[in-house]
């Protein structure tokens, strides 16, 4: 087992990025944000899809609060700096990167851990997962993009409830409230996420990029502007490979679409 706190490996066209502090329930400190972003940026050059997962029983229990407490001992003002937050830069490399990213979620998916998960494009959780935003109980506020990404998934009212009360969501609630897209049995999150990532990697690079980068931007536009940008994105998705794939379909050489496995959503 490597000592690296963020691990990286390749399985075919899929990059595997692990959060590797199992003795600390994969709590994240500031340097890990940068390392995580760099790993996914590397994956964008070496693979066609990626899976982010937690080593051990938990995806991530959130921010390393011991490090945070130490950093503010000299006063809140001493922490002020210029430029974007390191987590914002790092997690944008996930959300706005070259390739689709699937998060495999187990155990604690809390605080900054939930912010990491929300930066992925697809989330798969097993039955051990639980989701929370306990920042208010610690006297802090989300700071790694959660107020944007998680709120867009859950909605304002649900996120406000979670933050004010410390309420935890189980996988069934998370699925019903659009926080995750797949709920699987205990121990199956990584394999399902890898299967999904491999399926995604079989798409054209251009189509994947158009979907992950186009849809989220169109969602924030007016009706007319959205239609205009859709036209631009649709054109950007076309490639020489598109011609061959369309011909394969027309000539009945294309692989038939598989029926979805909805046994565990």
Give SS3 for 204.
coil
Q: Per the residue annotation, which of 115, 172, 206, 230 is the catalytic one?
A: 115
The reply to whether 115 belongs to the active site is: yes
171 to 51, 133, 139, 186, 190: CA distances (angstroms): 19, 15, 26, 11, 15
CB atoms within 10 A of CB 11: 13
Of 5, 46, 70, 135, which is the active-site residue? 135
Q: Are 32 and 68 in contact (CB under 8 A)?
A: no
Alpha carbons within 13 angstroms on the beta-carbon side of residue 7 total: 18
H or E, element range at 33? helix 30-46
Name every residue whose Cβ is closer than 8 Å to that of residue 38 and which is 6 or more positions away in sequence.
90, 93
For residue 135, indicate whether it is catalytic.
yes
Catalytic residue numbers, as ranges: 115, 135
């Amino acid at each position: 087992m490597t000592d690296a706190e963020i691990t990286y490996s390749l399985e075919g066209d899929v990059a595997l990025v692990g959060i590797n502090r199992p003795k600390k329930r994969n709590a994240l400190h500031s340097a890990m944000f940068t390392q995580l972003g760099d790993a996914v940026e590397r994956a964008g050059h070496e693979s066609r899809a990626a899976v982010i997962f937690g080593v051990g029983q938990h995806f991530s229990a959130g921010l390393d609060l011991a490090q945070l407490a130490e950093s503010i001992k000299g006063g809140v003002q001493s922490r002020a700096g210029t430029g974007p937050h390191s987590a914002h830069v790092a997690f944008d490399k996930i959300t706005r990167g070259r390739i689709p990213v699937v998060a495999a979620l187990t155990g604690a998916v809390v605080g900054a851990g939930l912010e990491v998960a929300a930066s992925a494009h697809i989330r798969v959780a097993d039955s051990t997962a639980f989701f929370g935003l306990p920042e208010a109980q610690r006297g802090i506020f989300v700071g790694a993009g959660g107020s944007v990404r998680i709120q867009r998934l859950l909605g304002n009212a649900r996120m406000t409830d979670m933050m004010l009360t410390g309420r935890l969501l189980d996988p069934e609630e998370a699925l019903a409230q659009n926080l995750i897209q797949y709920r699987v049995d205990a121990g199956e999150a990584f394999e399902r996420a890898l299967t999904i990532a491999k399926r995604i990697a079989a798409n054209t690079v251009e189509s994947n990029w158009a979907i992950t980068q186009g849809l989220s931007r169109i969602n924030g536009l007016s009706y007319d502007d959205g239609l205009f940008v859709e036209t631009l994105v649709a054109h950007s998705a076309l490639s020489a490979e598109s011609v061959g794939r369309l011909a394969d379909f027309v000539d009945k050489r294309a692989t038939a679409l598989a029926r979805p496995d909805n046994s565990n959503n």
